[in-house]
Chains A and B, each alone.
Chain A
Amino acid sequence: AQKITQTQPGMFVQEKEAVTLDCTYDTSDQSYGLFWYKQPSSGEMIFLIYQGSYDEQNATEGRYSLNFQKARKSANLVISASQLGDSAMYFCAMREGGDSNYQLIWGAGTKLIIKP
């Protein structure tokens, strides 16, 4: 079974609209972390936001927020007021287990295209 599922291979969104990128995860661990990364067409990987499983508040970083629904095992990325520069691949990733586990499991990504 997939540990990280991103169900939207591609999305088109009008500029200035809000965007929600879906991510569901599968783990039996109580302690885990969820990450979102952006990969523009230039290829570099850019960290966006992190949510720990014990964090009570949804993470926010500027225009990015993470809609963390633990019971549903979902960690959707919300981008407010989308911009043309938000066009990119977006990856959700999960770290399971205790403090000694550094390994991330990655979703297949969502390609987001912002239309002017």
Chain B
Amino acid sequence: NAGVTQTPKFQVLKTGQSMTLQCAQDMNHEYMSWYRQDPGMGLRLIHYSVGAGITDQGEVPNGYNVSRSTTEDFPLRLLSAAPSQTSVYFCASSYDPDSPLHFGNGTRLTVT
């Protein structure tokens, strides 16, 4: 059982470049989310989805887009990378609100 698969593990971008972080889960979870983790801070929610075709903004959505065309996949797009987006990104999913989040292994993104 793969759980949550997140790629890539590392990425370096130049300012202005775009990219997509991939996230897939095989647990048939309706809820999926993207977080960023910065030093000295807890995780901050970027975008989330409660099912295929449904997405919504979290706490820090600016500069990011998401889509949810299938239950399994929830990619995160950086439209025009900025140094402020240098962070560790986590994708997570859960079965219901009181179930624990299953996390991917994270993507360390550096924008120069």
Contacts and interface: CB of A to CB of B under 8 A. Distances in A.
A108 B42 contact: yes
A106 B88 CA distance: 15
B94 A102 contact: yes
Interface in B85-109: 88, 90, 92, 94, 96-98, 100-103, 105-106
B43 to A, nearest CB: 5
A107 B44 CA distance: 10
A102 B31 contact: yes
Contact of B101 (A43, A45, A100, A105): A45
Contacts of A95: 97-98
Contact of B97 (A4, A91, A102, A107): A102
Contacts, number: 56
A109 B43 CA distance: 9
Interface in A77-116: 91, 93, 95, 99-109
A44 B94 CA distance: 16
Contacts of B45: 103-104
Interface string B25-64: 0000001010000001111110010100000001000000
A107 B43 CA distance: 8
B103 to A, nearest CB: 4
Given A33-B97, A43-B106, A50-B98, A102 B48 contact: yes
B58 to A, nearest CB: 7
A45 B31 CA distance: 17
Interface of A: 4, 33, 35, 37, 43-45, 47, 50, 52, 91, 93, 95, 99-109
